Structure formats: C-alpha cells, structure tokens
C-alpha cells in the first residue's frame, strides 16, 4: 500500500493534470464494463499495463505482484459463476455426480466466467492506473472540482495525513516492545499488541488535541483552507483519451 | 523607555483538574528582542506560551499585547494570532496538510489575503527557511529536520510581529540547529521579536539578548545573559548549569590571565579573547 503511495508521487506522469488521469481511468473503466466485450477487456489490460510499465515507469515486477493480488479473490468467485448444480440432463463439459444431482461446468458458464475475469482485471488495471499515477491529494483536487462536500474532503485529507503519523508511532512502539522481548512468544505477542493498540488510541487522542491547538494558533476558524497546486490542461491528452475510447467502442462492435 | 510587545500581570493558570501550572507570572517582553526562556521540564514554559497566543485563558491575572489586554472573543483572537505566531515543539502535531505547499498556505489563507499575496508569502517563507526544494513534497516524506523547517515556514508566512518557538532545537542535529538559529537572527533583524524556550543553556547564552528563567510555575529570575547566568547561587537554585564559555572566561579571569574586558558570548569570541591573552603574554615575555 505504502509503495503505491510512493509511486504515486514519483512517476513520469506527475506533471499531467489530475483531471485528465481521472477521466482516463474512470472513463475507460466504465466503458470497459458497459461494453462487455472480451476483446476490449483484454486490450485494456494489456494497454494499461504497457502504459504503466513503459511510460509511467512502474517496475514490471511490482506491477505483476499487485495485479496478482485480486486474482485469488477473483478465482474464488469465478468458481461459483462457472459451476452449476443440476438435476436436468444438460450438456456439461465436466461434472461429478452427487446422487441424483450433478455438479459441473457448462460451456456457457465458462464463457461468462472468462468474460467476467477479464472485465474485472481491466477494471482493476484502470484503478491501479489512477492510484499509481495520482497522489491522494490530487485525487482530492479532482473531487473538489466535482463538488464533493468540503467536510468530506477535509476528513479525507486529515485521515490521509495521520495514517502516516500513527503508523510511524505504531512502528516505534513495536520496535521498543520487541527490543524488550515483547513478542518473544505468542502469548506475550498478543499482550504487547493489545498495549500497542491501546496506546495508539490514547496518542491519537492527544495528537488531535495538539493539532487543534496548533491550528488555532494559526487562525483556524473551522475551515481547513489550503492552496492547491495549479495544473494546465493539455488538449492533446484529452484528444488522446477521446480517441482511445472511440477505438474501444469500435473494436467492441467488430464482431 | 522601551516598548513592551507582550506582558503578563500576575498570570495564574490551573489545569482543568485544579493543578496549578502558572503561579502568578509577571513578565515583560521587549519589542524587537531575542528572548530565551529557560527552565526544567514541567516549569510551565509551554503553558505560558499558549497564553501569549490566546489559546489558553488565564485563570487569574492578565496578558497584554502591546499594552492592550487580550480578550477572548473571536475577532480579537484572530487579530492576536495574526501578530503572535507559535511554532510548536513537535512538527508532527502542527503539520496537517498533505503537502508542504498546502500546509504553509493555511495560515496566510486564514488571514483572508488575496491568492497572489498568499502565493508570494509562501514562496518567501520557503526561501527564508531554505526549503524551496521541498515545495511540492508530501509531508509524510520529510525528515524530522525538514518537518521542523516547514513548521517554522508555516508561521513565517503569516508575518507575525512576535514568533514563539517551543524548544526549536530539541532533537535537531548540530547542523540544522546552526541553520535554524541563523534563520532566527535573520528574522529578528527584520524587526520580529523572537521568544524561544530551550534546555540548551550554551545556545541561550550565545544567542539571547534577554533571558527569563522559569521554575515550577514561577519566574525565578530574568536579565542579561552574562549577568543572570554567572550568578552561581541562582543557577543552583534553578537547576541550571553555567554556560561553558562563561565558565572558561571566568576561570581565566580569576587566575589573573586577563583583565576586565568584553565578556565573550560564543566560541569565536572566547577564542579571540584567548588569542589576545596569548599575544599579550608573549609581548610581556619579550
């Protein structure tokens, strides 16, 4: 997770307007899902993968690792999609009998599962594109433009900032605990973990008080207003996205 | 007559549970000065600071800014916080935004300045703390020293008349400490009053124009660094140790190696005094 955050800040698509990246990722995802075509899905998986590895500069080893992450979930759900339990004498590619019932795979089920698999992978790669090229703060810029309520965005920004602060705190407590053999046995480990979690809660509370003081000192008046970086829209990129999406529609209608 | 920018009169403060934290503090901060606040942990330094900026409200007594008593209403406080800035000890509890730029822009935006001005101020604050290269960096990628610099820039961008630093050099390496102290001097030269708390007595001695020593919620003493920090009894009473420069100077003076002269404030001045002494001896020997 943290590596994704790191790549989001240091990649070759940094200077590109976050809105363009957002439109590309969301547009392509919605289109792929609604076109419901195997060809389009496969194309999107390959294209986005190539884009991320060759243009954005994400190491292929890391990318294949994160692409493998959803596969285990996906395979489990595909099994339920592809298999049928039936009493009817229908054509099954493969089955084993269970009394009067048969559990097996139909050709139709297999096709549906295949389509679903690639569609899901295409959608996942579109989301990875967004999270690997666009830092959370830029996504928030986009959401602000899309008129998402300010309260929601402020919470999002504070949570994002303090994930790292609390993680660091947890890390320090963990190190200090294990240097005193706090995790030398399973039982001790559970006990130490309990202390760690309790401590984090208390510290989070104290932090929020300190933060409030510090914000007050800088004239906080109930609204966390900050200045955002300015980006320039590139007509070329927009055109490219439109062309690509038209292309997707065309190949979906080839057959 | 000197002009006082901040003043407290018989300031008392109790924590919500009734424990007294400040016990009748009366202190005056002169405008344009470099003031160091010394005192052991728990002496009440941070609590006093929080009163200067109106975050805590005195249980008794008053706090005055430029001779006017601080009122705890929205308008007055907003105006006060525009003029008195605090840099907190732990930058992680001060930095809240996701990027350096955003964090520094928060203060000036609260002053309702137009965007161009905010932008200019942020750039200037980045420049005076020497962290322009961190402009677009996400806050959580920064090192401790860098976060410290950002927390200083945060307050600089608001261009206050007084800046209070709560233990600015705690946990900093010597290089960053020296850089930060230089930044303080630069800010001070432009007319900003600076108050800082520290445990580093050598640093306070070398840097400050005026020293205030606190202990257990009281003011134990105040005065010029070379006067107050050479008073042995006072130092013992307040749990402090004499600055090493002053100690060496007094030693060589007491054995008659030098006569009365300017008391050295820092290492270079002490070395110069020693050099002078050596030169004199040599010419005497001849």
The token pair that represents A17 in the structure block: 């307007």
In chain A, how many domains are there? 2
pLDDT tens digits for B17-50?
A: 889 999 999 999 999 999 999 998 888 999 999 9
Distance of CA A169 to the CA centre of its chain: 25
Phi-psi region of B258 (alpha: psi -120 to 50; beta: other; left: phi over 0): beta
Domain of A62 in residue numbering reads as 1-81+117-148+230-255
Residues 6+ positions from B29 with CB-CB distance below 8 Å: B4, B5, B6, B7, B35, B162, B193, B195
Inter-residue contact B50 to A213 (CB < 8 Å): yes
Cβ neighbours of B136 in A, within 8 Å: 229
Predicted pLDDT of residue A82: 84
Q: How far apart are CA B161 and CA B234, in angstroms?
A: 32
**Residue A170 contacts B where some CB pair is shorter than 8 Å:** no
Predicted pLDDT of residue B1: 57
Express as a percent the part of chain B with pLDDT over 90.
Answer: 64
Cβ neighbours of B154 in A, within 8 Å: 218
* A141 and A62 in a common domain: yes
The pLDDT tens digits along chain A (255 residues) read 578 888 888 888 888 889 999 999 999 999 999 998 899 999 999 999 999 999 999 999 999 999 998 988 898 888 888 888 888 777 777 888 888 888 888 888 888 899 999 999 999 999 999 999 998 888 988 998 999 998 998 888 888 888 888 888 899 999 999 989 889 899 999 999 999 999 998 988 888 888 889 998 998 887 888 888 778 888 888 899 999 888 988 888 876
Phi-psi region of B167 (alpha: psi -120 to 50; beta: other; left: phi over 0): left
Angle in degrees, CA B5, B90, B196, rounded to 5:
30
**Residue B278 contacts A where some CB pair is shorter than 8 Å:** no
* A66 and A39 in a common domain: yes
Which residue on chain B is closest to A206 by alpha carbon?
A: B93
Predicted pLDDT of residue B150: 95
* A54 and A139 in a common domain: yes
In a domain, A182, yes or no: yes
Predicted pLDDT of residue B280: 77
Inter-residue contact A18 to A138 (CB < 8 Å): yes
* A216 and A172 in a common domain: yes
* A122 and A72 in a common domain: yes
Predicted pLDDT of residue A1: 57
Complex prediction ipTM: 0.80
pLDDT tens digits for B207-230?
A: 999 999 999 999 999 999 989 998
* A158 and A133 in a common domain: no
**Residue A156 contacts B where some CB pair is shorter than 8 Å:** no
* A75 and A8 in a common domain: yes
In a domain, A99, yes or no: no
pLDDT band, residue B105 (cuts 50/70/90): very high
Predicted pLDDT of residue A255: 61
* A124 and A57 in a common domain: yes
In a domain, A105, yes or no: no
* A180 and A255 in a common domain: no
In a domain, A89, yes or no: no
* A192 and A164 in a common domain: yes
* A128 and A195 in a common domain: no
Q: Which of B79, B83, B93 has the highest number of chain A CBs within 10 A, making it the mutation to test binding with A?
A: B93
pLDDT tens digits for B138-182?
A: 888 899 999 999 999 999 999 999 999 999 998 888 898 999 999
In a domain, A103, yes or no: no
Cβ neighbours of A227 in B, within 8 Å: 101-102, 105, 109, 115, 118-119, 122
Phi-psi region of A57 (alpha: psi -120 to 50; beta: other; left: phi over 0): left
**Residue A144 contacts B where some CB pair is shorter than 8 Å:** no
In a domain, A37, yes or no: yes
In a domain, A6, yes or no: yes
Q: Is the pLDDT of residue B285 over 80?
A: no
Q: How far apart are CA A24 and CA B154, in angstroms?
A: 36
Give the three-state DSSP class for B266: coil
The residue behind tokens 């200019």 is B120
In a domain, A122, yes or no: yes
* A123 and A50 in a common domain: yes
Average per-residue pLDDT for chain B: 90
């Amino acid at each position: 997770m943290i590596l994704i955050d790191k790549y989001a800040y240091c990649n070759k698509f940094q200077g590109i307007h976050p809105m363009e990246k957002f439109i590309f990722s969301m547009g392509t995802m919605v289109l792929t899902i609604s076109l419901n075509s195997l060809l389009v899905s496969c194309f999107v998986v390959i294209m986005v993968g190539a884009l991320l590895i060759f243009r954005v500069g994400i190491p292929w080893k890391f990318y294949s690792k994160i692409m493998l992450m959803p596969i285990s979930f996906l395979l489990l759900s595909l099994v339920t999609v592809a298999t049928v339990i039936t009493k009817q004498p229908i054509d099954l590619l493969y089955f084993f009998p269970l009394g009067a019932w048969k559990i097996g795979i139909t050709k139709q089920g297999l096709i549906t599962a295949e389509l679903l698999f690639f569609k899901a992978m295409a959608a996942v790669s579109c989301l990875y594109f967004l999270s690997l090229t666009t830092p959370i703060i830029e996504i928030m810029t986009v959401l602000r433009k899309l008129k998402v309520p300010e309260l929601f965005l402020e919470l999002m920004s504070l949570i994002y900032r303090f994930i790292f602060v609390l993680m660091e705190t947890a890390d320090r407590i963990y190190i200090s605990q294990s240097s005193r053999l706090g995790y030398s046995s399973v039982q001790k480990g559970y006990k130490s973990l309990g202390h760690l979690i309790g401590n984090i809660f208390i510290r989070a509370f104290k932090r929020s008080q300190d933060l409030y003081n510090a914000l007050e000192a800088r004239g906080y008046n109930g609204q966390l207003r900050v200045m955002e970086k300015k980006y320039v829209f590139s007509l070329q990129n927009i055109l490219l996205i439109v062309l690509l999406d038209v292309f997707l529609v065309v190949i979906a209608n080839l057959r | 007559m000197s002009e006082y920018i901040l003043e407290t009169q018989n300031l008392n403060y109790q924590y919500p549970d009734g424990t007294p934290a400040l016990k009748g503090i009366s202190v005056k901060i002169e405008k344009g000065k470099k003031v160091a606040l010394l005192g052991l942990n728990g002496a009440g330094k941070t609590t006093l600071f929080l009163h200067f900026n109106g975050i805590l409200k005195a249980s008794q007594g008053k706090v005055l800014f430029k001779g006017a008593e601080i009122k705890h209403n929205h308008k007055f406080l907003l105006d006060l916080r525009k003029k008195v800035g605090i840099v907190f000890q732990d930058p992680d509890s001060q930095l809240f935004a996701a990027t350096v730029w955003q964090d520094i822009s928060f203060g000036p935006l609260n002053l309702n300045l137009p965007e161009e001005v905010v932008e200019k101020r942020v750039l200037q604050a980045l420049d005076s703390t020497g962290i322009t290269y961190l402009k677009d960096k996400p806050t959580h990628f920064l090192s401790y020293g860098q976060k410290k610099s950002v927390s200083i820039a945060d307050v600089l961008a608001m261009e206050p008349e007084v800046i209070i630093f709560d233990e600015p050099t705690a946990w900093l390496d010597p290089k960053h400490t020296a850089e930060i102290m230089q930044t303080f001097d630069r800010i001070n030269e432009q007319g900003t009053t600076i108050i800082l708390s520290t445990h580093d007595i050598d640093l306070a001695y070398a840097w400050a124009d005026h020293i205030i020593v606190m202990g257990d919620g009281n003011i134990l003493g105040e005065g010029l660094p070379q006067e107050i920090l050479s008073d042995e009894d006072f130092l013992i009473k307040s749990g402090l140790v004499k600055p090493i420069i002053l100690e060496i100077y007094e030693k060589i003076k007491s054995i008659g190696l030098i006569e009365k002269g300017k008391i050295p404030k820092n290492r270079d001045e002490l070395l110069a005094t020693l050099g002078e002494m050596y030169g004199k001896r040599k010419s005497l020997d001849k």
